């Protein structure tokens, strides 16, 4: 049938199945990491690390070593540099991040422009997923599995770190090590993702899935599952859109993720803006006091909790 033809046609090309494998693998790892990243408030850190790997990738091409080694060294180096500058000045974190990653990104551009014939800048910046080799696929798969395994093994510690760092410290956990671990895994995830969508758009993979899942979740494990399911769907849809509409693959994948976010933002339960608007209407027409409308975050049970405890909800 037509539908089967629609689905199968792109898959007869080896380059497209490889693209699909790399994109889905990278998207899953990035989606899992993004759940912690957005809860830690480290979205900007994802932005910084992904841009900062540019000189590493460029040098790796020039030296003829695997690009992932160069990228990881510079990603981790950027994290360390940000940490050092932060702890030795009075500057705020976002300021330090901005200074460090633009400097590294610019030095990457300088290196690329000094050796124009060897490197295709556009491929590094925006990905070249249709040109990946079987070796690249293996590289992405191995790094992806390692990153994912560590993340899931330490997921409870990382969640505690994001939720209550002081408690983690007080019960004797090594919070510095856990922070460093999460940042190291961030660098690895960037390495995995830049093949698929390039270093500019990998930022979207590191933030959007977690943000979307956060809107739908009241528990962390559920958030992880939702992020992964939605990102896999968006990646596959993106690859197909890129094939049939003849648009950039990285752009199509990121646009699909943004589309999912938009749908959840509007229609997701219980906090989608349309449901909020409906609740306000219901409260206006049915409530005598109309006081409940003020608390946009408060779901129905909160009011009963309030009654049972005799305490205000405290919509912090």
Q: Please report, as ranges, the residues that interact with other proteins according to CB under 8 A.
A: 39, 153-154, 156-157, 159-160, 162-164, 166-173, 214, 217-220, 222-223, 294-295, 297-299, 301-302, 305-306, 308-316
Alpha-carbon distance of 175 to 262, in angstroms, equals 35
Alpha-carbon distance of 231 to 217, in angstroms, equals 15
Measured from the CB atom, the residue of 122 and 294 that comes closer to other proteins is 294
The rounded Cα 131 to chain-centroid distance in angstroms is 23
Measured from the CB atom, the residue of 19 and 162 that comes closer to other proteins is 162
CB of 282 to other proteins, least distance (A): 19
* Terminal CA-CA length for the chain: 55
DSSP annotation of 173: -
CB of 214 to other proteins, least distance (A): 7
Size of the chain in residues:
316
Measured from the CB atom, the residue of 141 and 216 that comes closer to other proteins is 216
**Read out DSSP for 63-99?**
HTS-HHHHHHHHHHHHHHHHHHHHHHSS--HHHHHHH
CB of 302 to other proteins, least distance (A): 5
Q: Which residues contact 116 (CB under 8 A, 6 or more apart)?
A: none
CB of 81 to other proteins, least distance (A): 24
Measured from the CB atom, the residue of 66 and 222 that comes closer to other proteins is 222
At 141, phi and psi to the nearest 5? -65, -45
CB of 297 to other proteins, least distance (A): 7
What sign results for the dihedral spanned by CA atoms 195, 197, 203, 208? negative
Measured from the CB atom, the residue of 179 and 217 that comes closer to other proteins is 217
Burial of 54: CB neighbours in 10 Å, binned 0-12, 13-18, 19+: buried
Measured from the CB atom, the residue of 157 and 276 that comes closer to other proteins is 157
Measured from the CB atom, the residue of 32 and 191 that comes closer to other proteins is 32
CB of 275 to other proteins, least distance (A): 16
Structure tokens of 64? 């003829």
| Cβ atoms 250, 196 nearer than 8 A | yes
CA distances to 33, 186, 190, 301 from 203, rounded to whole Å, are 12, 11, 8, 36
CB of 152 to other proteins, least distance (A): 9
Measured from the CB atom, the residue of 34 and 159 that comes closer to other proteins is 159
CB of 224 to other proteins, least distance (A): 10
């Amino acid at each position: 049938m037509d539908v089967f033809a629609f689905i199968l046609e792109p898959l007869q090309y080896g380059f497209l199945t490889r693209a699909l494998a790399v994109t889905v693998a990278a998207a899953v790892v990035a989606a899992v990491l993004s759940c912690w990243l957005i809860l830690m408030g480290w979205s900007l850190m994802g932005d910084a690390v992904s841009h900062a790997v540019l000189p590493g990738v460029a040098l790796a091409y020039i030296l003829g070593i695997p690009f992932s080694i160069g990228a990881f060294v510079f990603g981790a180096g950027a994290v360390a540099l940000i940490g050092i500058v932060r702890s030795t000045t009075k500057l705020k974190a976002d300021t330090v991040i901005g200074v460090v990653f633009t400097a590294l990104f610019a030095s990457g551009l300088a290196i690329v422009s000094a050796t124009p014939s060897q490197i295709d800048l556009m491929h590094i910046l925006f990905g070249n997923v249709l040109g990946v080799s079987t070796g690249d696929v293996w590289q992405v798969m191995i790094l992806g599995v390692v990153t994912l395994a560590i993340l899931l093994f330490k997921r409870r510690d990382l969640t505690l770190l994001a939720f209550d760092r002081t408690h983690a410290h007080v019960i004797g956990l090594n919070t510095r090590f856990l922070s460093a671990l999460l940042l190291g895994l961030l660098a690895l995830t960037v390495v995995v993702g830049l093949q698929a969508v390039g270093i500019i758009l990998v930022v979207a993979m590191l933030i959007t899935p977690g943000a979307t899942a956060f809107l739908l979740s009241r528990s962390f494990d559920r958030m992880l599952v939702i992020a992964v399911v939605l990102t896999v769907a968006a990646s596959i849809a993106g690859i197909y859109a890129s094939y049939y509409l003849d648009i950039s693959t990285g752009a199509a994948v990121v646009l699909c993720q943004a589309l999912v976010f938009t749908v959840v933002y509007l229609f997701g339960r219980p906090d989608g803006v349309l449901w909020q608007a409906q609740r306000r209407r219901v409260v206006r027409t049915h409530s005598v006091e109309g006081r409940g409308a003020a608390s946009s975050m408060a779901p129905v049970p909160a009011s009963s909790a309030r009654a049972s405890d005799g305490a205000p909800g405290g919509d912090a």
